[in-house]
Chains A and B, each alone.
With several copies, the nearest count.
Chain A
Amino acid sequence: MNNDKQIAVLGVGMHPWGKWGRSFVEYGIEAARAALRDAGLSWDDIQYVAGADTIRNGYPGFIAGATFSQALGWKGNRVASCYAACASGAQALNIARAQILAGLCDVALVVGADTTPKGFFTPVGGDRPDDPDWLRFRLLGATNPTYFALYARRRMELYGATGEDFALVKVKNAKHGLANPNARYRKAVSIEDVMASPTVADPLRLLDICATSDGGAALVLSSMEYARKRDAKPVRIAAISTVTPTYPQTIIEMPNFSTDSAAVVAPPERAFRDAIGFAAYEEAGIGPDDIDLAEVYDLSTALELDWYENLGLCKEGEAERLIRDGDTAVGGRVPVNPSGGLASFGEAIPAQAIAQVCELTWQLRGQADGRQVDGATAGITVNQGLFGHGSSVIVSR
């Protein structure tokens, strides 16, 4: 591993996911205080706050770093507020990491929280016919599940995936989430339950698709030097990938109408989703074989299968075999989404990539009661935000 690029995770915390109907600020602050307690530190010890923004909660959401700082009490600390759709949390983490590695601060707090509307995500308000995110609803009626369904159907056409394979992902994640006190849904689900739920965007059914949730997650980070005074073997952030695509992007991506053209410029060596994890492995100096568990962005059950391949946990076309064989369940070869994943949480956009790191931290410390991956020493998260935001974090101990 590249030891000079590592930082420590001193504390992690969440506000449970759900539909609480309160302000995102409350979720963020409760998560932050939980992370501070976990770290054994107080607000006074924090020098830098990186907030992951929410764009559906007015001005306070655009300046999350300042909003959380003011709610904790103005004390002159420096802040940043960033946005990268579903990758916002990883961006905030990356911004805080660089401040620490640069020696500009010793201890930083990263917070993301959201209050979400019900139902499908819709484009932000107003009549905006220049915005692809508006036009895709108008001209195509293409919702987020539409795109997830195109990928799912592609797996069926190419690799013979079935609706039951997808359902197996839900069954596994629901089982993992049973033991997670921060999960929104804590209920066992059977293949029959999934198959009996109404089809949203064929072949995906209601139980194949993640809900939208309220929630908050926070991390207290420090330099390795600071951490080692408190803990001889702290959990470390070994890599953060925030790469963008390489032209031409030949897989259709939400919310676009088309891919780039490969007629003049040849496609890159690695497609975008493969490149996200690759950059993280490269930065950490390890490979897929060194990974004990993964938290991947299961916006749909089928998408989780794609991520297995994108992360190199198996070869292309083999993901169905992994889920069928139980390789990615807790107790299997490389457990995926031991937290229960988005399937058990629902998505709280700016909090989600941070929550993935919380789970890996608990796992590497051996604190994931009821869902513990035994002896885990390295885990990876992966995720992708609209408009070209890669997000992958490697956590090790």
Chain B
Amino acid sequence: MPAKTRVPAVEGWFTTEGDEPALLGTRCRSCGTYAFPRESYFCKNPACDGREFDDVALSRRGRVWSFTNNCYQPPPPFVPTSDPFEPFAIAAVELADEQLVVLGQMVPGTSVDDLKAGMDVELVVDTLFEDDEHEYLVWKWRLVETGAPA
């Protein structure tokens, strides 16, 4: 069976190549404010008329602000990946440099029981769902191993 083509589930929101994937945001050329998802129209800073933005990769690491487990299957356009549905965790993560909070699913295998506010996480790219030909990719958060003995 030939390997499926790996494609992002949404265009231009994150890098998919290389060891260090990252979310793609923008930085306003006029005032320097960050935005995720990428801003293409108007700078959201009310004091700024900027309309030009540089693409920037956001910090790959952040700290858990809050988290939850989704225990029921969400309605479409969510695409279920198992039947019966298996709960998955979602975390809101603070990025220190950009001073913003970004949502993401936690990688499979991490549940709310493993999480506390303030924990360090890093961004990975993982499969969101598949069809016959494609594997659709999305960013997810993974707990950073602290190196402490198990």
Contacts and interface: CB of A to CB of B under 8 A. Distances in A.
Contact of B99 (A29, A43, A262): A262
A2 interface: no
Nearest to A136: B103
Interface stretch (A47-55, A253-261, A325-333): A253-261
Given A141-B105, A150-B68, A157-B117, A73 B74 contact: no
Contacts of A122: 75-76
Given A146-B70, A199-B69, A123 B42 contact: no
Interface size class of A (residues with CB under 8 A): 35 or more
Contacts of B90: 140-142, 146, 150
Given A150-B66, A201-B70, A71 B41 contact: yes
A202 interface: yes
Nearest to B118: A157
B92 A261 contact: no
B68 A149 contact: yes
A265 interface: yes
B21 interface: no
A170 to B, nearest CB: 18
Q: Which of A127, A152, A199, A203 has the most CB of B within 10 A?
A: A199
A154 B69 contact: no
Q: Which of A136, A151, A153 has the most CB of B within 10 A?
A: A153
A257 B36 CA distance: 8
A137 B45 contact: no
A142 B68 CA distance: 10
A228 to B, nearest CB: 28
A247 B45 contact: yes
A75 interface: yes
B31 A137 contact: no
A151 B67 CA distance: 9
Given A150-B66, A199-B69, A252-B103, A157 B32 contact: no
Contacts of B22: none
Contacts of B105: 140-141
Interface string A66-93: 0000111111000000000000000000
A232 interface: no
A345 B88 CA distance: 30
Contacts of A198: 71
Interface in B76-130: 76-79, 88, 90, 92, 97-105, 112, 116-117, 128
Contacts of A136: 103
Contacts of B36: 257-258
B34 interface: yes
Interface residues of B, number: 51
A26 interface: yes
A158 B117 contact: yes
A199 B103 CA distance: 21
Interface string B24-62: 000010011111110001111111110000000000000
A367 interface: no
A100 to B, nearest CB: 21
Given A119-B75, A261-B33, A262-B100, A141 B42 contact: no
Given A23-B41, A247-B44, A265 B33 contact: yes
A75 to B, nearest CB: 4
A281 to B, nearest CB: 24
Contacts of B10: 129, 135, 138-139
A145 to B, nearest CB: 8
A259 B99 CA distance: 9
B70 A141 contact: yes
B75 A120 contact: yes
A225 interface: no
Interface string A241-255: 000000110101000
Given A157-B66, A248-B45, A261-B99, 15 more contacts: A73-B47, A135-B10, A139-B128, A151-B66, A153-B117, A154-B66, A199-B69, A201-B68, A248-B33, A248-B99, A252-B101, A258-B36, A258-B103, A261-B98, A264-B28
27 contacts: A26-B41, A73-B43, A73-B48, A75-B46, A122-B75, A122-B76, A137-B74, A137-B75, A141-B70, A146-B90, A150-B65, A150-B67, A153-B112, A153-B117, A201-B69, A204-B68, A247-B45, A247-B46, A248-B45, A250-B99, A250-B100, A250-B101, A258-B36, A258-B102, A263-B34, A263-B100, A265-B31
Interface of A: 23, 25-26, 29, 33, 43-44, 70-75, 119-120, 122-123, 127, 129, 134-143, 146, 149-154, 157-158, 198-204, 247-248, 250, 252, 256-265
- Which 10 pairs, one residue from A and one from B, show the smallest C-beta to C-beta distance? A73-B46, A149-B68, A157-B117, A261-B34, A202-B69, A262-B99, A141-B74, A154-B66, A264-B33, A263-B99
